[in-house]
């Protein structure tokens, strides 16, 4: 009953608001008139009676307001009313609205973008069953500086058999398949996987089934699992699932299952999975490291425990198979870590700087609102005096902030959407986590959450302050004072803005400086017009060293004879890709074993033309030639820095050394200039080159071909393939790319950092200028009266100007000092992400402080100059 009547009352109030208002009017009028009539009966004149009746009734608007509240109308009604009113007031100051909404949009939008990235990389649950238990396993060779290497098949099977920390373990390798027989032949990216691949990831099939545990044994019926996309492409989305047969690489395979769209592993593009069926011989291979391995931890087992378990197995294998496994260990990391790798520092940098940007945006909007609220004390005081309660005014002011934030949010999501669209289309190399980034539900929740924080930061304090009862004072004194307090608060906000902007600009300055230095590093070799392609020979076909060397020689010769090719050569590991093989080097000094040379020297096997092709200059001695064949005296070329550190005063030519694994003594025949072997930001201490023709290791069965062309290197890709295939029709070629692409990719992360933090700081710069300008303008406008008096009493315009500019100078320098202290701490934290720039790089600090300081003073000067044009007469009359 009670509830029902309440509900009815609320409904009638909400739905028939107009009627309620007019009924209240009628009721109050009746009351006042009835009372007045009673007074008139007591002999009072009609006019006087009405006046007294009205006074004794009290403020009608206030009674109405309380009446509405009493009827429960306030929730929706007054909120809508506030919004309408807020929109009206905001429309009256479009400059204020544009500045605040844009500032909020950039602050919140930036956070939404960075959070989307971070969420995608660090938080988004991987689409597998209990993904936290899935780990990635890899081989590691500390001596040779190799980590995260693929695993050899025999090692994988040993890990799988002996590892008791894992409930299942699977290996896979990316592979491409040709599907024929269903329409046009197509080349589909897929993977060869062991049978428990799907059970390890814990994803069931959408239709049909995944592999049975024996389906990766040789001799079984050939089966295949397709992605939903591929199924739809081959058979049409409407076709119900059935065990269709398709022809894959010339064999008939039965489709046993279809995986859901969300399942895309190991690559985003993977569309089919075929059992990895290895012959006994292949299963026993410990040299060819080509498998990627994932495993599921047993319940309750930690990654650390699994690592200990795997470590013991690897030691055992080292002892049992020293020829292949000596020096090789194994590493376990969580699947997520294996996907994110070195993204963490970058993400933290971005999160930190974008949070600074948001704080700055809040300080800016807060100062704009404060300035405006102080200008509105008159309006508020009037509202108080006609009966508005304090909480009512507070609610109104907060609604206005809410409105600004809501408008800002709408724009922010638009900004974020476009940025993410841009990031997704960039397909940044080396950023698996920066792909398919989306504005999903968690991002929206995050955005809403920070928006609430923003409302609290920008709306609450000014609202409480402005709605304080002091406003009555303001009305009484007709707005002449009550600005000292907000003035101080405004200055503090401006100081905060300048210091935050300074921090961001310092970070951006350091990162830009660092990137510029990095991209101006000369790698030491020719990058333009060079194409590279990787060839790995199948050991089953090219067993002996001789066969391998001959194959590479004839391929390079073929390429060399192609029109448009200037030079062609080969190297075991391309520079700049972070690959290196290092060996223990022993110098000959009379003893038979020799004494230890540089540890961790990078060793590369090259063809005679390699140095020519990449333009690596000779320092002394000679390059390799065709004469450095397998039958000739073993020769070596060393880098200049190795020569300098080991033969500081003598000539290294003619000296001899050997590798620990190889008993032959190599004679140094030449010294070449240093190049950036591993990456642009690190110089390799020592480098050794051997002629590839003299290699003794049959496991060294790969080579990168480098081709220097007269035209665009990409156009030569086809020619290189033809040349390879004219020697061996079945030889696969991978990673055909120009060296310029590699160079660009190798600095992609520093570039991303620079662009992201750079744009944040640019936004910060603009925001802070708006903030300073608005604050000084406001303070000038508020002091027109005071300026008028001073000028009337004979103050020169210069004095007035100086007053404002010196005020500006005070808060600018305060902001710079505070900013400097924060920036020093922040810069130290990102020191590891800088190249050739110290975190306290004086030039950067000097430059940024000047730019920010001078422009901030300019932003003070412009409104201050307006103050000097105040006409004393006008200013005084204004009062």
Nearer to other proteins, 78 or 708 (CB): 78
CA distances from 228 to 235, 249, 261, 435, 656 (A): 10, 20, 6, 20, 61
Nearer to other proteins, 59 or 430 (CB): 59
Q: 3-state class of 702 per DSSP?
A: strand
Q: Is 9 in the site for other proteins (CB under 8 A)?
A: yes
Nearer to other proteins, 10 or 290 (CB): 10
**Residue 700's closest CA among 587, 558, 546?**
546
β-pair type (251-259, 223-227): parallel
According to DSSP, the residues that pair with 166 across neighbouring strands are 297
Find out whether the peptide bond into 266 is cis, omega within 30 degrees of 0.
yes
Sign of CA dihedral 323, 329, 332, 338: negative
Binder of other proteins out of 14, 17, 24, 492 (CB under 8 A)? 24
Element at 858 (helix H, strand E): helix 842-868
Cα–chain center distance at 861:
39
Nearer to other proteins, 1 or 237 (CB): 1
Ramachandran region of residue 696, left (φ > 0), alpha (ψ -120 to 50) or beta? alpha
Nearer to other proteins, 49 or 106 (CB): 49
Gap between the terminal Cα atoms of the chain: 60
Nearer to other proteins, 63 or 83 (CB): 63
**Residue 667's closest CA among 599, 588, 603, 741?**
588
Nearer to other proteins, 73 or 490 (CB): 73
Q: Which of the stretches 63-71, 101-109, 139-147, 763-771 binds other proteins when contact is defined by CB under 8 A?
A: 63-71
Q: Kindly state the smallest distance separating residue 385's Cβ from other proteins, in Å.
A: 16
Q: Is 697 in the site for other proteins (CB under 8 A)?
A: no
Tokens of 478: 């007709």
Dump the DSSP string for 670-699.
EEE-----SBTTB--S-EEEEEGGG---TT
Q: Is 63 in the site for other proteins (CB under 8 A)?
A: yes
Q: Kindly state the smallest distance separating residue 472's Cβ from other proteins, in Å.
A: 20
Nearer to other proteins, 388 or 757 (CB): 388
Taking the C-alpha atoms of residue 413 and residue 112, their distance in angstroms, rounded to an integer, is 8
Q: Is 40 in the site for other proteins (CB under 8 A)?
A: no
| Crossing angle between the packed helical segments 797-829 and 842-868, to the nearest 10 degrees | 150
CA distances from 719 to 203, 534, 842, 847 (A): 43, 14, 52, 51
Q: Which of the stretches 65-73, 225-233, 343-351, 456-464 binds other proteins when contact is defined by CB under 8 A?
A: 65-73
Q: Is 57 in the site for other proteins (CB under 8 A)?
A: yes
C-alpha Rg value of the chain to the nearest Å: 38
Contact 671, 730 (CB under 8 A): no
Nearer to other proteins, 2 or 299 (CB): 2
Taking the C-alpha atoms of residue 116 and residue 121, their distance in angstroms, rounded to an integer, is 8
Q: Is 5 in the site for other proteins (CB under 8 A)?
A: yes
Q: Diameter of the chain by CA atoms?
A: 138
x/- mask, other proteins, residues 514-553, rule CB under 8 A, reads: ----------------------------------------
Element at 766 (helix H, strand E): helix 748-782
**398 CB-near residues (< 8 Å, 6+ apart):** 455, 459, 460, 463
Taking the C-alpha atoms of residue 293 and residue 287, their distance in angstroms, rounded to an integer, is 16
CB atoms closer than 10 angstroms to residue 846 = 10
Binder of other proteins out of 21, 48, 56, 161 (CB under 8 A)? 56
Q: Is 22 in the site for other proteins (CB under 8 A)?
A: no
Nearer to other proteins, 3 or 522 (CB): 3
Q: Which of the stretches 29-37, 98-106, 421-429, 684-692 binds other proteins when contact is defined by CB under 8 A?
A: 29-37
For residue 334, report the phi and psi dihedrals to the nearest 5 degrees: -65, 155
Q: Which of the stretches 30-38, 99-107, 754-762, 858-866 binds other proteins when contact is defined by CB under 8 A?
A: 30-38
Cα–chain center distance at 189:
27
According to DSSP, the residues that pair with 176 across neighbouring strands are 189
Nearer to other proteins, 38 or 735 (CB): 38
Nearer to other proteins, 69 or 714 (CB): 69
Binder of other proteins out of 14, 17, 28, 579 (CB under 8 A)? 28
Binder of other proteins out of 14, 17, 51, 71 (CB under 8 A)? 71
Binder of other proteins out of 21, 27, 715, 722 (CB under 8 A)? 27
Taking the C-alpha atoms of residue 530 and residue 522, their distance in angstroms, rounded to an integer, is 15
Q: Kindly state the smallest distance separating residue 411's Cβ from other proteins, in Å.
A: 41
Q: Is 74 in the site for other proteins (CB under 8 A)?
A: no
Q: Kindly state the smallest distance separating residue 70's Cβ from other proteins, in Å.
A: 4
Q: Is 58 in the site for other proteins (CB under 8 A)?
A: yes
Q: Is 62 in the site for other proteins (CB under 8 A)?
A: yes
Binder of other proteins out of 15, 19, 22, 70 (CB under 8 A)? 70
Q: Is 19 in the site for other proteins (CB under 8 A)?
A: no
Nearer to other proteins, 58 or 578 (CB): 58
Q: Is 79 in the site for other proteins (CB under 8 A)?
A: no
Q: What is the DSSP letter of 284?
A: T
Q: Is 592 in the site for other proteins (CB under 8 A)?
A: no
Taking the C-alpha atoms of residue 387 and residue 763, their distance in angstroms, rounded to an integer, is 43
Q: Is 25 in the site for other proteins (CB under 8 A)?
A: no
Dump the DSSP string for 515-562.
HHHHHT---SS--TTEEEEEEE--TTT--SHHHHHHHHHHHHHHHHTS
Cα angle, residue 740 at apex, residues 419 and 761 outer, rounded to 5°: 35
Nearer to other proteins, 1 or 18 (CB): 1
**832 CB-near residues (< 8 Å, 6+ apart):** 345
Q: Is 34 in the site for other proteins (CB under 8 A)?
A: yes
According to DSSP, the residues that pair with 171 across neighbouring strands are 293
Q: Is 77 in the site for other proteins (CB under 8 A)?
A: no
Binder of other proteins out of 31, 283, 316, 477 (CB under 8 A)? 31
Q: Is 215 in the site for other proteins (CB under 8 A)?
A: no
Q: Which of the stretches 22-30, 122-130, 294-302, 515-523 binds other proteins when contact is defined by CB under 8 A?
A: 22-30
Q: 3-state class of 759 per DSSP?
A: helix
How many residues in the shown chain lie near other proteins by CB under 8 A?
31
Nearer to other proteins, 35 or 861 (CB): 35
Q: Which residues between 476 and 505 bind other proteins (CB under 8 A)? A: none
Q: Is 66 in the site for other proteins (CB under 8 A)?
A: yes
Q: Is 2 in the site for other proteins (CB under 8 A)?
A: yes
Nearer to other proteins, 60 or 577 (CB): 60
Q: Kindly state the smallest distance separating residue 390's Cβ from other proteins, in Å.
A: 17
Q: What is the DSSP letter of 833?
A: G
Q: Is 67 in the site for other proteins (CB under 8 A)?
A: yes
Q: Kindly state the smallest distance separating residue 386's Cβ from other proteins, in Å.
A: 13
Q: Kindly state the smallest distance separating residue 61's Cβ from other proteins, in Å.
A: 10
- Residue recorded with tokens 């067993």: 543
Q: Is 17 in the site for other proteins (CB under 8 A)?
A: no
**Residue 504's closest CA among 689, 683, 723, 352?**
352
Q: Kindly state the smallest distance separating residue 826's Cβ from other proteins, in Å.
A: 56
Nearer to other proteins, 68 or 753 (CB): 68
Nearer to other proteins, 20 or 371 (CB): 20
Residues at the interface with other proteins (CB under 8 A): 1-2, 4-6, 9-10, 23-24, 26-28, 30-31, 33-35, 37, 56-60, 62-63, 66-67, 69-72
């Amino acid at each position: 009953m009670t509830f029902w009547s309440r509900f009815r009352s609320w409904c009638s109030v909400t739905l028939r608001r107009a009627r309620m208002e007019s009924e209240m009017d009628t009721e109050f009028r009746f009351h006042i008139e009835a009372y007045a009539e009673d007074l008139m009966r007591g002999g009072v004149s009609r006019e006087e009676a009405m006046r007294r009746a009205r006074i004794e009734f009290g403020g009608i608007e206030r009674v109405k307001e309380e009446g509405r509240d009493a009827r429960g109308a306030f929730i929706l009604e007054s909120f809508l009313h506030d919004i309408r009113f807020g929109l009206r007031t905001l429309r009256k100051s479009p400059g204020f609205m544009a500045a605040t909404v844009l500032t909020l949009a950039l602050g919140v939008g930036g956070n939404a973008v960075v959070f989307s990235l971070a969420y995608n990389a660090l938080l988004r649950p991987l689409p597998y069953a209990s993904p936290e238990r899935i780990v990635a396993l890899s081989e590691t060779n500390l001596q040779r500086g190799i980590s995260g290497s693929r695993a050899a098949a025999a090692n994988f099977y040993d890990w799988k058999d002996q590892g008791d920390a894992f409930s299942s373990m699977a290996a896979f390798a990316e592979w491409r398949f040709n599907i024929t027989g269903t329409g046009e032949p197509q080349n589909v990216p897929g993977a060869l996987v062991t049978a428990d691949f799907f059970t390890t990831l814990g994803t069931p099939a959408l239709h049909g089934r995944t592999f049975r545990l024996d389906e990766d044994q040789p001799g079984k019926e050939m089966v295949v699992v397709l992605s939903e996309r591929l199924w739809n492409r081959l058979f049409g989305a409407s076709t119900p699932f059935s065990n269709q047969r398709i022809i894959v690489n010339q064999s008939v395979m039965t489709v046993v299952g279809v995986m859901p769209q969300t399942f895309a592993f190991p690559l985003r593009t993977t569309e089919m999975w075929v059992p990895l069926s290895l012959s006994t011989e292949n299963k026993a291979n410990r040299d060819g490291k080509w498998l990627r391995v994932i495993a599921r931890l047993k319940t309750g087992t930690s990654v650390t425990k699994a690592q200990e378990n795997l470590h013991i197995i690897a030691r055992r294998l080292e002892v049992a198979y020293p020829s292949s496994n000596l020096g090789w260990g194994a590493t376990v990391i969580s699947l997520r870590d294996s996907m994110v790798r070195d993204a963490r520092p970058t993400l933290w940098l971005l999160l930190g700087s974008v949070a600074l940007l948001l704080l700055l945006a809040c300080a800016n909007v807060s100062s704009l609102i404060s300035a405006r609220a102080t200008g509105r004390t008159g309006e508020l005081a009037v509202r108080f005096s006609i009966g508005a309660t304090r909480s009512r005014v507070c609610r109104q002011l907060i609604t206005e902030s809410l409105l600004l934030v809501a408008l800002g949010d709408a724009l922010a999501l638009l900004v974020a959407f476009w940025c993410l669209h841009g990031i997704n289309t960039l397909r940044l190399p080396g950023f698996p986590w920066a792909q398919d980034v989306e504005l999903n539900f968690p991002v929206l929740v995050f955005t809403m959450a920070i928006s609430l924080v923003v409302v609290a930061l920008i709306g609450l304090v000014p609202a409480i302050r402005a709605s304080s009862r002091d406003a009555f004072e303001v009305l009484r004194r007709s707005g002449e004072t009550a600005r000292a307090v907000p003035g101080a608060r405004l200055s503090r906000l401006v100081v905060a803005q300048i210091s935050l902007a300074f921090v961001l600009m310092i970070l951006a300055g350091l990162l830009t400086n660092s990137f510029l230095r990095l991209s101006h590093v000369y790698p030491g070799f020719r990058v333009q017009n060079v194409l590279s392609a990787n060839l790995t020979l199948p050991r089953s076909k090219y067993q002996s060293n001789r066969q391998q060397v001959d194959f590479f020689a004839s391929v390079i010769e073929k390429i060399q004879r192609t029109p448009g090719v200037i030079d062609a050569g080969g190297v075991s590991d391309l520079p700049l890709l972070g690959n290196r093989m290092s060996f223990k080097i022993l110098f000959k000094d009379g003893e038979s074993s020799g004494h230890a040379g540089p540890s961790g020297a990078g060793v590369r096997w090259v063809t005679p033309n390699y140095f020519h092709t990449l333009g690596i200059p000779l320092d002394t001695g000679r390059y390799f030639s065709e004469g450095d064949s397998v039958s000739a005296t073993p020769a070596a070329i060393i880098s200049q820095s190795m020569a300098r550190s080991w033969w500081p005063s003598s000539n290294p030519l003619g000296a001899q050394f050997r590798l620990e694994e190889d008993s032959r003594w190599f004679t140094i025949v030449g010294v070449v200039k240093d190049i950036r072997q591993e990456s642009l930001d690190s110089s390799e201490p020592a480098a050794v080159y051997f002629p590839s023709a003299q290699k003794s290791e049959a496991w060294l069965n790969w080579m990168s071909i480098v081709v220097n062309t007269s035209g665009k290197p990409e156009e030569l890709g086809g020619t290189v393939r033809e040349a390879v295939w004219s020697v061996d029709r079945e030889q696969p070629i991978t990673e055909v790319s120009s060296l310029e692409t590699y160079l660009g990719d190798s600095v992609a992360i520093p570039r991303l950092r620079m662009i992201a933090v750079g744009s944040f700081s640019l936004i910060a710069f603009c925001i802070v200028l708006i903030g300073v300008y608005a604050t000084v303008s406001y303070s000038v406008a508020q002091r027109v009266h005071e300026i008028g008096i001073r000028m009337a009493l004979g103050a020169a315009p210069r004095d007035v100007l100086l007053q404002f500019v010196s005020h500006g100078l005070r808060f600018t320098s305060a902001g710079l000092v505070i900013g400097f202290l924060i920036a020093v701490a922040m810069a130290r934290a990102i020191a590891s992400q800088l190249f050739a720039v110290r975190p306290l790089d004086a030039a950067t600090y000097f430059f940024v402080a000047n730019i920010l300081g001078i422009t901030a003073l300019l932003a003070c000067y412009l409104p201050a100059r307006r103050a000097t044009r105040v006409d004393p007469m006008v200013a005084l009359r204004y009062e």
